[in-house]
Amino acid sequence: MPLDIGLWRLDEGIQRLLPSGLPNEKRLEDLIETDPSVLGQPLLLIGRQVPTAQGKFVDLLALDGDGAIHVLELKRDKTPRDVVAQTLDYGSWVQELSHDDVLGIYAKYNSTKALEVAFDEVFGIPLPEELNAGHFLTIVAGDLDAESERIVNYLAAVYGVPINAVFFRYFTDSGREYVARTWLRTQSQEAGPKAGTAARQKEQWNGTDWYVSFGDDTERAWEDARQHGFVSAGGGEWYSRSLRSLPIGARIWACIPKVGYVGVGTVTGPAERFHDSAYANNADLIASYTHPNGEDEWLVPVTWIQTRSKSDAVWQKGMFANQNTAARLRNSFTLGILQGAFPKAIE
């Protein structure tokens, strides 16, 4: 059972304010849409009254910072059994949504801003490569009957269904309005996100494009790579492993971390240790290509299609970045920007 919420006015003695029902639940829906953080965590709304494949409409859909989907279903006038059953039905629909489905839902909800940009604005990080890797089901209500509470607790505690209920109490005082929130199940009790359908959570990869992180510093220099035709990484197995897996013929998009994308080119040969390469004794190189820990720097030869200086790097909020040195680049938002900034790549 949720905690009872009490609110007292203290300026003229002690007077308890008694909660009343919301004037209408649409107003609560408007409140959550305007500021989803009233639910207790940062969320990005991606849809309102979203039609399902079964002809129903989900009140609100949102993403959290991990890319999990949150189904927010207002109780309205549903019977106890109906509200829980309908929320579970929405969960069965949500788990089948692919990455592209999520993008399409958001595009209908907000056609003025890309999801990648909106996500970065809310969470301060790029959109995850995997969307809908899990989901949460939340019943939003002014109150919930004991039967529904028992069902929600049973499903979450015994079967690990990621379902919970949140209650909003409405107060008025001298023309002012207040709402207070409490959850049926605490964070420590809440079930984890239910996994989505495997292999549907990422955008489709075109089989060609790769992201490559190029750390421009004293150990390697972008101007060296740009002039002589290579990308490199090293200083440890974790840094070089993904770079060494780049296939010959791959189209790579080089990105300097925290700066932006600076080049697009084609891999022309296998990876090799830098000091075994033809550049090992090149006096024209700016950087050292050595590491204090003695680990190797690895090089992959590249024929550049188009490059930019570091000061002219391409970056917009929401573009793809990754902690790995090399990763498949499947993010259509990023690719669209890059193809406009590097037109020779699509000639």
Taking the C-alpha atoms of residue 346 and residue 180, their distance in angstroms, rounded to an integer, is 54
State residue 202's pLDDT score: 78
Query: Which residue is it, tokens 């992201």?
Result: 211
Helical segments of the chain, H only: 25-34, 80-94, 99-109, 115-123, 146-159, 222-228, 237-244, 332-341
- Same domain, yes or no, for 164 and 242? no
Q: Any idea which residue has 């996500």 for tokens?
A: 119
Tokens encoding 49 = 């009254």
Residue type for 193, please?
P
Are residue 215 and residue 331 in the same domain, yes or no?
yes
Whether 135 maps to a domain, the answer reads yes
200 inside domain: no
Residue 202 within any structural domain of the chain: no
If asked whether residues 256 and 152 sit together in one domain, one would say: no
Q: Which of 138, 165, 195 is the last residue of a domain?
A: 195
CA distances 27 to 31, 35, 76, 141, 179, Å, are 6, 12, 11, 12, 11
- Residue finishing a domain among 133, 166, 195: 195
- The CATH number linked to 300 is 3.10.590
Q: Are residues 40 and 162 in the same domain?
A: yes
Q: What is the DSSP letter of 191?
A: P
Phi and psi based region of residue 295 (left: phi greater than 0; alpha: psi -120 to 50; beta: remaining):
beta
* Burial 9-44, CB ≥16 within 10 A → b, else e: eeeeeeeeeebeebeebeebbeebeeebeebeeebb
Domain count within the chain: 2
In a domain, 203, yes or no: no
Domain that holds residue 25: 7-195
Examine the domain organization and report whether 103 and 231 are in the same domain.
Answer: no
Q: What per-residue confidence (pLDDT) applies to 304? A: 98
256 lies in a domain?
A: yes
The verdict on 168 and 82 lying in the same domain is yes
H helices within 10-79, ranges in order? 25-34
pLDDT of the residue at 327 = 92
Same domain, 248 and 331: yes
CA 185 to chain centre: 25
How far apart CA 247 and CA 239 sit, in angstroms, is 17
**Angstrom distances, CA of residue 46 to CA of 81, 94, 126, 226, 313:** 27, 13, 16, 40, 30
Together in a domain, 186 and 268: no
Residues of the chain with pLDDT under 70: 1-4, 21-24, 76-80, 187-192, 194-201
Between the CA atoms of 6, 4, 20 and 176, what dihedral angle is there, to the nearest 10 degrees?
30
Q: How many CA atoms lie within 13 A of 280 on its CB side?
A: 10
Residue 2 lies inside a defined structural domain of this protein: no
Residues 55 and 152 in one domain: yes
- Of 128, 162, 195, the residue at which a domain comes to its end is 195
281, 236 in Cβ contact below 8 A?
no
230 and 139, same domain (yes or no): no
> Is 110 in the same domain as 239?
no
Q: Do 233 and 295 lie in a common domain?
A: yes
In a domain, 120, yes or no: yes
Domain contains 42? yes
87: domain CATH number?
3.40.1350.10
Read off the tokens for 197. Answer: 């359908």
